[in-house]
Amino acid sequence: MDKLEQSFQLAAEKYSELGVDVESAMKQLDEVAISLHCWQGDDVSGFENNNVALSGGIQATGNYPGKARNPEELRGDLDFVFDLLPGTHRLNIHSLYAETGGKKIERNELAPEHFRNWIDWANGRGIGLDFNPSFFSHPFAENGTLSNRDEAVRRFWIEHGIACRKISAEMGKLTGKPCITNFWIPDGSKDTPADRLAPRARLKDSLDTIFSEEISKEYHLDALESKLFGIGAESYTVGSHEFYMGYACDKQKVLCLDAGHFHPTEVISDKLSAALLFLDDVLLHVSRGVRWDSDHVVTMNDELLAIAQEIVRNGYLKRVHIGLDYFDASINRVAAWVTGARNMLKALLYAMLEPSDKLRDLENCGDNTGRLVWQEELKTMPFGIVWDYYCRRCNVPDGFQALEKIRDYERSVLSSR
């Protein structure tokens, strides 16, 4: 027995004294698939090669060397990232990442064949795919997309939405795992609008048209993502939280909650138990909001732990689909992916190692003193040892060793780009 095994035995005993079975927690974590966002690898650029700047009120800041410049580099980086994560995960692709063989294909004409390489790659790894229409970084997106008052522009984006659902269904069919397609529409206004209603009515109407064709849930699910504000759209966002909460409940769609899309003290962990009383499924964009930015690398902070606790305590692992959404161009992009994804898994393991029944019993007995003391004592349980042991069991390095591997990859691959 080496040191890690010895420490693990002691840690497992400590948890068992609290009534927690470490082995079953690790087995539970084995089943979790996190959807990694392809856009961390290239600052949300995609492969349209049209020199259109990133728009939609989002920004990737920094110019750290090594950004993926083409599909092969991006998939190469993703292979490297997936190999540093314990478990089997998923990939979330934006329509911007279509491969059209150098031909200009308008977004409303995108088809499954343009994602053939991605599908083959996913099947090679045995992983599922998720998808997103891209309602930004396009000349027609300047004054709004699905809520635009110009009918021809609206029509273009409706067709894009319809095309993306078809691609999604094909991804679901060919991978054998349902594909969640997330609609995020950045339409909004920099300054105080005179009419808040009409754009919302048009957005609702456009979505109704896009969703008019039924697609089997076996292959495809529609998700809708709200936002409070974006850069250049500080005063009004058409697709607000109330808009999509209402829409998702009305049409039984998946509600997407992005951790960076609410008021700074508002948290999505508190929304799960409310939304899931009315909806079957929620999609998460796990992210970290910092002041005006909604997309910093996910760290293991209180909110990440709270999100994981809500998912695990309430038995939501099948109903909450966990995706990541951030983009940091100021550090090694691969490290950003690996760190955020591993943090999400860590937080879930931490939650799985919680004696939730005990906490609930204390609360139900009115013993709030005991609840507080238990909550605080749990924070210094030997969680890190269990995590390191879990990584070893999954044949992946611990975090420090992972950093060394990333540095090697930077030297041998990223630095020559």
Using CB under 6 A, pick the residue from 44, 127, 233, 414 that binds ligand RNT.
44
Subset of 184-203 contacting ligand RNT (CB under 6 A): 184
Q: Closest CB to Zn ion among 257 and 338? A: 257
- Say which entry of Zn ion, ligand RNT, none residue 44 contacts (CB below 5 to 8 A, set by partner kind): ligand RNT
Of the residues 184, 337, 374, 387, only one is catalytic, namely 184
Phi/psi of residue 91, each to 5°?
Answer: -125, 135
Rule CB under 6 A: say whether 177 interacts with ligand RNT: no
Residue 26 CB, shortest distance to Zn ion, in Å, is 29
What phi-psi label fits residue 43: left (phi over 0), alpha (psi between -120 and 50 degrees) or beta? left
- String of b and e for 36-68 (b: at least 16 CB within 10 Å)? bbbbbbbbbbbbbeeeeebbbbbbbeeebebbb
C-alpha dihedral, 96 to 98 to 101 to 104, nearest 10°:
-50
- Say which entry of Zn ion, ligand RNT, none residue 132 contacts (CB below 5 to 8 A, set by partner kind): ligand RNT
Rule CB under 5 A: say whether 37 interacts with Zn ion: no
Q: Closest CB to Zn ion among 84 and 134? A: 134
Give the residue carrying structure tokens 């009115």: 366
Q: Closest CB to Zn ion among 285 and 288? A: 285
Q: Which two tokens stand for residue 27?
A: 């087995």
State which residue has the least CB distance to Zn ion: 285
What sign for the dihedral angle of Cα 31, 277, 280, 164?
A: negative
Subset of 83-122 contacting ligand RNT (CB under 6 A): 94
Of the residues 37, 89, 177, 227, only one is catalytic, namely 227
Of the residues 222, 325, 328, 354, only one is catalytic, namely 325
Using CB under 6 A, pick the residue from 222, 225, 328, 354 that binds ligand RNT.
225
Subset of 295-314 contacting ligand RNT (CB under 6 A): none
Rule CB under 6 A: say whether 180 interacts with ligand RNT: no
Give the residue carrying structure tokens 């939650």: 351
Of the residues 293, 303, 328, 354, only one is catalytic, namely 293
Task: Tell me, yes or no, if 225 is annotated catalytic.
Answer: yes
Cβ–Cβ under 8 Å, residues 244 and 222: no
Rule CB under 6 A: say whether 244 interacts with ligand RNT: no
Rule CB under 6 A: say whether 325 interacts with ligand RNT: yes
Subset of 208-267 contacting Zn ion (CB under 5 A): 258
Q: Work out the number of other CB atoms within 10 angstroms of the CB of residue 14.
A: 15
Task: Tell me, yes or no, if 293 is annotated catalytic.
Answer: yes
State the DSSP code for 139: G
Rule CB under 5 A: say whether 325 interacts with Zn ion: yes
CA atoms of 39 and 93, how far apart (whole Å): 8
Q: Kind of pairing, strands 282-286 and 320-324? A: parallel
Q: Which residues make Cβ contacts (< 8 Å) with residue 197, sequence separation at least 6?
A: none
Task: Tell me, yes or no, if 83 is annotated catalytic.
Answer: no
Subset of 125-164 contacting ligand RNT (CB under 6 A): 132
Q: Closest CB to ligand RNT among 257 and 349? A: 257
Helix axis angle for 3-17 and 22-30, nearest 10°, is 110
Rule CB under 6 A: say whether 343 interacts with ligand RNT: no
Residue 224 CB, shortest distance to ligand RNT, in Å, is 11
CA atoms of 144 and 161, how far apart (whole Å): 14
State the DSSP code for 253: P
CA atoms of 417 and 66, how far apart (whole Å): 6
Contacts with Zn ion by CB under 5 A lie at 258, 285, 325
Name the residues that contact ligand RNT, by CB under 6 A. 39, 44, 58, 94, 132, 184, 225, 227, 258, 285, 294, 325
Query: Which residues carry out catalysis?
Result: 184, 225, 227, 258, 261, 285, 293, 295, 325
